[in-house]
Amino acid sequence: MQQKKQIRQSLELISSIPTLPVVIEKLTRLLQNPQTSAEEIGKAITTDQALASKVLKLVNSAFYGFPGKISTITHAIVILGFSTVKNVVLTASIFDAFRKKGTGIEGFDLEHFWLHSIACGAAAQSIAKITGSNQKEECFIAGLVHDIGKIILCQHLPEEFHEAYVFAKENSILFFQSENALFDVTHQEIGGFLAERWNLPKDLQNAVKFHHAPSPTRDYYMMTAIVHCADILIRALNYGNGGDMKIPVMSDNVWKNLGMDSIPLSQLFEAINDEIEKASIFLQIT
């Protein structure tokens, strides 16, 4: 057997991995204190003007579906609540950290990648809704970042990325299978590593790490299961392309645990499409 290329270490050592704005950390701290007022949080967010204006665009979009105009961050907090606003800030920041940088490689189009990511977030949110999960917003973020490891690979080791891309294509296999065959690391692990560095919630970290191998014996199984399912359903709807042209096989266990057999798929597809349509605002704010 051919020796696998050792790239894990070099990826772990990269110091230029995008960071989230300081405001995220500040928000987390503020939110831990029950005494924190909407004004204080509003102030913390508005110190980053560019971010604040994106947050306002998002909260006024169909994605959050609030009728009427929200003109200040403080107003947004009063209406949507702390946790939603924090999720909006987090989503906008993640998107920002990667959107502008990097170019695709031949055949791997970054626009397609982001459409796939947004669609996965939207689908995860729809599945969460239909299965009665109370983590809709978190599921959106998990779907949005599930393949983020591919971007890191593409930006920092473009040759290796290209190699994996070509290998997947030639052998008609999935991207992670190609990574598995060639390297000592996969995009799930790279993404998980980033999610850890970013201090994202544990369930989100696990959803990124295990979206291709969900196991009910692991913690935070439900969010992982939802992202696994979302990734597959959107590929069936042609929102593929995270570097391959194949569809992974659905885990029996995920299908069962989410109760998918009792959910009419056409209805779910419709809900997913609606959600994607609303979420396409993300492509317009950056």
Q: Site residues (CB under 8 A) for other proteins?
A: 109, 111-112, 115, 172, 232-233, 235-240, 245-247, 249-250, 252, 255, 260, 265-266, 269-270, 273-274, 276-277, 280, 283
Contact present, 177 and 168 (Cβ < 8 Å):
yes
| From the list Fe ion, other proteins, none, partner contacted by residue 269 (C-beta under 5 to 8 A by kind) | other proteins
Q: What is the DSSP letter of 251?
A: P
Minimum CB–partner distance for residue 270 and Fe ion (Å)? 21
Q: How far apart are CA 56 and CA 83, in angstroms?
A: 15
CB closer to other proteins, 219 vs 274: 274
**What are 184's two structure tokens?**
């000592």
Check residue 231 for interaction with Fe ion (CB under 5 A): yes
CB closer to Fe ion, 75 vs 246: 246
Check residue 189 for interaction with Fe ion (CB under 5 A): no
* CA-closest candidate to residue 214, choices 181, 179, 254: 254
CB closer to Fe ion, 72 vs 104: 104
Half-sphere exposure (Cβ direction) of 72: Cα atoms closer than 13 Å:
11
Q: How far apart are CA 170 and CA 160, in angstroms?
A: 15
Minimum CB–partner distance for residue 126 and other proteins (Å)? 12
* CA-closest candidate to residue 191, choices 231, 159, 163: 231
Contacts of 22 (CB under 8 A, 6+ apart): none
**What are 87's two structure tokens?**
């999720």
CB closer to other proteins, 22 vs 237: 237
The count of chain residues that interact with Fe ion, using the rule CB under 5 A, is 3
| From the list other proteins, Fe ion, none, partner contacted by residue 236 (C-beta under 5 to 8 A by kind) | other proteins
**What are 122's two structure tokens?**
């939207």
Contact present, 233 and 269 (Cβ < 8 Å):
yes
CB closer to other proteins, 53 vs 280: 280
Exactly one of 242, 251, 254, 260 binds Fe ion (CB under 5 A); that residue is: 242
CB closer to other proteins, 115 vs 128: 115
SS3 105: strand
Choices 38-46, 145-153, 156-164, 198-206 (CB under 5 A): range interacting with Fe ion: 145-153
Binding residues (CB under 5 A) for Fe ion: these are 147, 231, 242
